Amino acid sequence: MTPERERCLAVLARRIIEIERNHPTRVGIDGPDAAGKSTLADELATLLERSGRTVIRASIDGFHRPRAERTARGADSPAGYFLDSFDYGALKRVLLDPLGPTGDGRFRRRVFDYRLDEPVSAPEECAVPGSILVFDGVFLLRRELSHVWDLSIFVAVTFEETLRRALERDRQLLGSAEEVRRRYEARYIPGQRLYYSREQPQGRADVVMINEAPDAPRLVQP
């Protein structure tokens, strides 16, 4: 890890640790596909644990809706990607609300396995005082969720860069570089553009991390 990235992570971790709540701190890490959200979340989780805090690590990937619902508008529909991909009611019910100001601290990290396309029965856990939820995923600053985060981070990269990374990352998953390009250009990038136009997530975020060059990220306060 470069010194520039270490400094960036240290600033974010310090800001999270300084948040004082009477419930677990809920950190949401948003951004387009292949922006580096999961990597950032994992790195922050490690730093926060080194500080002595208990980290609850979870992702929007555990809250997909069934495939038939996700593709009801068409397998390549941008609106379907933005509107139908995730079960926000379940996310709030089993994770975000239990960790919030009126919750009892009993939570579950996931409810659905999108690869098997079936529900999962994740064990119920109980958050200890001072816990920090580090949650990553797309579309986290939409109006249904933007108010629940005690700190929100938007990982910003250009769509050209997300496609370049996806061509490296998702080739095996989707079968070929051609299919990766087709899927991103038809569904994922237009779906993100729809999200940007409706919700302006970078303006809602507490912090924007410019991650075009992961070795030299920059933090911006909107």
Domain that holds residue 42: 3-220
> Phi then psi for 67, rounded to 5 degrees?
-55, -40
Query: How many CA atoms are closer than 13 Å to the CA of 215, on its beta-carbon side?
Result: 2
135 three-class SS:
strand
Distance CA 47, CA 36 (A): 17
Q: Which CATH number goes with the domain that contains 10?
A: 3.40.50.300
27 three-class SS:
strand
Q: What is the pLDDT of residues 58-75, one digit of tens each?
A: 999 999 999 999 999 999
How does DSSP classify residue 94?
I
**pTM score over 0.85:** yes
* Cα-based distances in Å from 29 to 33, 36, 115, 117, 150: 12, 10, 22, 25, 11
Mean pLDDT across the chain, nearest whole number? 96
Q: Does residue 172 have a pLDDT over 90? A: no
Number of domains, the chain: 1
The pLDDT of residue 221? 84
- State the first-to-last Cα distance of the chain, in angstroms, to the nearest integer: 26
Which of the four pLDDT bands, split at 50, 70 and 90, describes residue 174? confident
